[in-house]
Amino acid sequence: MTAVLIFRLVILVATIVLVVVTLLPFLQTKLWWVRMCDFPRLQVAVLSLGLLLTMFVLWGRMEWPDQVLVGLLAVTAFIEAWFIFPFTVLARKTVRDAPDPAPERTLRIVTANVLMENRDASALLAILRERDPDIILLAEPNAWWIEHCRPLEASHRFTVLQPQSNTYGMALYSRFELFAPEVLFRVESGVPSIRAGVRLPGGALIQLHAVHPRPPGIDPPGADEHQSSRPRDAELILVAREIEERGIPAVVLGDFNDVAWSHTTRLFQRSGHLLDPRIGRGLFNTYHAHHRLLRYPLDHVFHTDHFSLAGLERLPDFGSDHFPMFAALVFRPDAAPAPTGTPSPEGDDVQEAEQTMRKAVSEEGGR
C-alpha cells in the first residue's frame, strides 16, 4: 500500500469520525455517549478545518471521492461553527453591559468546583480574597474542604454547607442575608442542589439556585453502567420550571456538567427564560484546567432578564480540574429588555421537558 493511499485512508476515517460526532447530538436520545458528543464542537471544528487545509495544500488534482470528503468536512465545520459562533465576540450580546454598577444593586459571584481530592485550599482562598465576591459557591467539597474554608465564614456569615464524600457536596457562602435556604435532592438521592433567597443591599430580593448535577456516563454505586443523561437534564429542567412559575428575579450558578451550546442547556434556558452572559463575550472554558486542547464551558451563571453585566471572567487555576468563574450582575429590573429577546419555549419543548422529568423520577424511584 502506497503512502498516498494510506494518507487518503486516514483522511477518510477521520472525516467519518468527525461527521458522526457532529451529527449524533441531533438524535433525541439520552444515551450518555451520544450526549457527550455535544462537548467537543470547537475541537471538531478546528480538526475539520485542519483536514480541509491539509487536503488543499497536499492534494494535487482532486477526484470525485476527494471532492465528497471536502464537502463533508466543510459542512461539518459549518455546523460546529454555527453552535460556537454565539460564544464569540462577533455575536450580539444577549445581556447588556452595566453602565453604572451601583454597589447596592450589584451581586458579585464566584463559582468553583474545588475537585474533592485537591488539597490546595490556600490557593483558592487567595483568589477569593483578591476578588472579594458577595456569593461563593463551591462544588465537590467534603469535610476537609469545609474545615479549610472556615476563614470564609468571617466575611460571609450566611452559609449553606452540605459536605459529601461522593464528589457532589456543595457549600454556599454569602455576605448578604439568605432567606429560607434549603438543600434539595431534586432527582437523585446523593446529588444535592441549593435554593435560597438573597437580599441585596438595595433591598431587592432575588432567588438563587446552585446546582451540580451528575454528568452523563458517571454511575452511582449499583447503577446500570449504561447511564443516560436524563437525571442531569431533569434537574436542570426542574430548576428552570420553578423559576418560570415564580416569575421573580433569579440566578442559577454551578457546574452543570454540560456545555453552554448543548440541547439540554438551551432547553433549560428556554424553559426558565434565562440569559447566558457568555453570549457575545467568549467561551470562558472552565474544564479541563490542565489540558489546553480539551476545554469546555461547564461552569455557568445564568439569570433572568432583571440583570445587566458588570464583569465576567475566568479566574486562575488553583489546583482543581476546573477554573473558577466570576460574574458581577447588576440588578436593573427597569432596564430595557435583552437585545436579542428572552429565551422562551418553542416547538415541543414543554412535552420534552415533561417527559424527561417524568422518566427521571420514575427511574430514581425504581432503584
State pTM to two decimals.
Answer: 0.92
Phi-psi region of 342 (alpha: psi -120 to 50; beta: other; left: phi over 0): beta
30 — pLDDT class (breaks 50, 70, 90) = confident
How far, in Å, CA of 78 to CA of 58, rounded?
22
Q: How confident is the model over 3-29, as pLDDT tens digits?
A: 767 877 888 899 999 999 999 999 988
* 23-46: average pLDDT: 92
pLDDT of residue 226: 44
Say if residue 155 is exposed, middle or buried (CB neighbours under 10 Å; 0-12, 13-18, 19+). Answer: middle
> Which of these ranges, 28-37, 129-138, 252-261, 317-326, has the smallest mean pLDDT?
28-37
Identify the top-confidence range among 48-62, 221-235, 244-258, 330-344.
Answer: 244-258
> For residues 230 and 356, is the Cβ–Cβ distance under 8 A?
yes
> For residues 285 and 84, is the Cβ–Cβ distance under 8 A?
no
> For residues 146 and 114, is the Cβ–Cβ distance under 8 A?
no
Kindly tell me the sign of the dihedral angle through the C-alpha atoms of 335, 341, 347, 351: negative
Contacts of 74 (CB under 8 A, 6+ apart): 48, 52
Q: How confident is the model over 55-109, as pLDDT tens digits?
A: 888 776 777 877 899 999 999 999 999 999 999 999 999 999 997 788 899 999 9
* 42-49: average pLDDT: 96
Q: How confident is the model over 260-286, as pLDDT tens digits?
A: 999 999 999 999 999 999 999 999 999
How far, in Å, CA of 247 to CA of 268, rounded?
15
225 — pLDDT class (breaks 50, 70, 90) = very low
DSSP 53-72: HHHHHH--SPPHHHHHHHHH
Can you read off the three cell numbers belonging to residue 61? 488534482
**For a pLDDT cut of 90, what percent of the chain falls above it?**
74
> For residues 322 and 255, is the Cβ–Cβ distance under 8 A?
yes
CA–CA distances in Å: residue 32 to residues 129, 152, 228, 352: 38, 37, 5, 17
Question: If we measure between CA atoms, which residue out of 191, 197, 180 comes closest to residue 135?
Answer: 197
CA–CA distances in Å: residue 100 to residues 57, 293, 329, 335: 52, 37, 11, 12
